[in-house]
Amino acid sequence: MSVLGKIIWGFGIVSWCYAGTPELAAQKLVEFIKDAPNLGPGFAAVIVTKDKVVLSHVQGQRHAQAQLPMTPDTPIYVASQTKAFIGLLAVKLDQDGILPIDRSIQSYWPQLRWPDGVDGDGWTLRHLLTHQVPIECDPLTFLEAYVTRVEPADYVDILNKYAKAREPGFAYDNLGYNIYAAILETQTQKTWQDWLADTVTKPLGMSKTSARTSDFKPLEVAWSHQWLGEDKGWHGIEPKTDEMMQSAGGMVISANDMAKWLQLQLRQTGPKGSGITQDQLLAAHKIGVDTDPEQRNPYELPCSGYAMGWNVCEYQGHLLYIHGGGYTGARTIMAFSPDLGVGVAVFSNSDNMTGWFTGRTLFQYLQYLLDDPKADEMAALRHQEYPKRTSKLLEWRQSSLADERAQESWGGWKWSPSKDELSQYVGRFQAANPYLTAEIALVDQQLSVRVHSQKAKLLAASKDLFAAQNHPFESLEQVRFIRNDDGALVSFTWNDETFVRQP
């Protein structure tokens, strides 16, 4: 019999036939992962109970080109799962009296001007961390995730200039966590990265976890990847720089360290001497805002609330705290169920439909654990479906890029500039936003542009018109250069920004 024995399934009572223990379910999951076709370059799965690491399975490569193996200690980028760590940190700093989260945002930043249509009274740091503050600021979140660190002292000015009102209610995004981290630093003169390390990850013994990739050797961290097809293989994407490791999505975590993190959630208290208490974990797990269980979400589950960095959902009648993470070339997911007594995490260092497959791997384990009579059938269907989905994704990416290149605005891609012609575009350019300083360089007949950590090749399309592209399947962005009356190149436009040439 299983942990539950029997359930009502369909129109009748079905007795389950699997063993239904965490260990046997884990064994079946390993078979499921190993039998998955075209899964790569690296993949990992972690399963824990509060007292035992049931599974720490890793396979494949952390760097396909260098053929370096994925190991249980390989730090892997987990993107938005960072929010759950920040949520616990915020609760702990609140209970320790360092940064109260039920104080208003305005009390910390009295100079903040709210956008028209937004009443700024009463919005707190807790509201930021549960995605309730009805503002958005795309220029700020873009800078933090893709370009560079924004100094906390500049946040208010940027928000005053660019923030807009959005529809009220829960709306998941990065902005609330970015603002919380900026307030934390302005109030304490200590970065969120240092607070997190000193207060959470180091006390938990998470030695292969960091909010800074520079804490590890260059090839120690897993690279992200995109599948280019059988003829070209995997395209490697170097890890994020420290500048792009922001508080809403900026951590690398190893499989072994993820086991410690998930066990913390199940035990609901930290190790002796860690300073992490049951009250803090219970507060972090408490729903802070109700969400619509009928609304579609990435997990395709009924989710009734959002806690401090956790979606609170239901899986076959069981409470499930869950959060995923996605970025170019990487997909990850983690979850724990207090009533089932298990935690599960799945990592992939590619985006080759692995957002779909990592989630299905997690649910496959829960099906095995719950003795779901459809578990083996679903495993077979998922194995059949995955290569179909990856093939469709590749076809869609290729056709989308071809359609973009075929647009008349590119002028037919007939321009083949010489090295001397390309050298005219080299230089330093500045946008009105002080964080947007562009450096254009020429190496081996190829122009490239760099804005802090944001990099792209400049592909020649027609006279003074280039396409900026960082990764092979990234959408083409127009970079158009402007000349003065004397024919000299004086500026260029890119993403609605004008960059002016500097002396």
Return d(Cα 396, Cα 75) in angstroms, integer: 31
What's the full length of the chain, in residues? 503
- 284-330 pLDDT per residue, tens: 999 999 999 988 889 999 999 999 999 999 999 999 999 999 999 99
Q: 409-501 falls under which CATH superfamily? A: Pab87 octamerisation domain (2.40.128.210)
**pLDDT (tens digit, 9 = 90+) per residue, 76-124?**
999 999 999 999 999 999 999 999 999 999 999 999 999 999 999 899 9
Residues whose CB falls within 8 Å of the CB of residue 221, separated by 6 or more in sequence, listed in order: 62, 74, 75, 76, 77, 213, 239, 252
CATH 3.40.50.2300 fits 19-84+193-394, yes or no: no
How far is CA 225 from each of CA 43, 63, 274, 349, 368, rounded to the nearest angstrom? 12, 8, 36, 6, 30
- What are the residue ranges of CATH 2.40.128.210 in the chain? 409-501
Say what the pTM is: 0.94
Distance CA 368, CA 470 (A): 41
Q: From CA 46, how far away is CA 256, in angstroms rounded?
A: 8
Domain with CATH 1.20.58 in the chain: 92-188
Q: Which fold has domain 92-188?
A: Methane Monooxygenase Hydroxylase; Chain G, domain 1 (1.20.58)
What contacts 131, CB < 8 A, 6 or more positions away?
A: 170, 171, 172, 173, 176, 289, 306
Residue 185, CA atoms < 13 Å, CB-side half-sphere: 19
Residue ranges of the chain that CATH labels 3.40.710.10 = 19-84+193-394
Instruction: Provide the total of helices (H) and of strands (E) in the chain, helices listed first.
Output: 13, 25
Per-residue pLDDT of the chain (503 residues; tens, 9 = 90+): 333 332 222 323 333 344 479 999 999 999 999 999 999 999 999 999 999 999 999 999 999 999 999 999 999 999 999 999 999 999 999 999 999 999 999 999 999 999 999 999 899 999 999 999 999 999 999 999 999 999 999 999 999 999 999 999 999 999 999 999 999 999 999 999 999 999 999 999 999 999 999 999 989 999 999 999 999 999 999 999 999 999 999 999 999 999 999 999 999 999 999 999 999 999 999 999 999 998 888 999 999 999 999 999 999 999 999 999 999 999 999 999 999 999 999 999 999 999 999 999 999 999 999 999 999 999 999 999 999 999 999 999 999 999 999 999 999 999 999 999 999 999 999 999 999 999 999 999 999 999 999 999 999 999 999 999 999 999 999 999 999 999 999 999 999 999 999 99
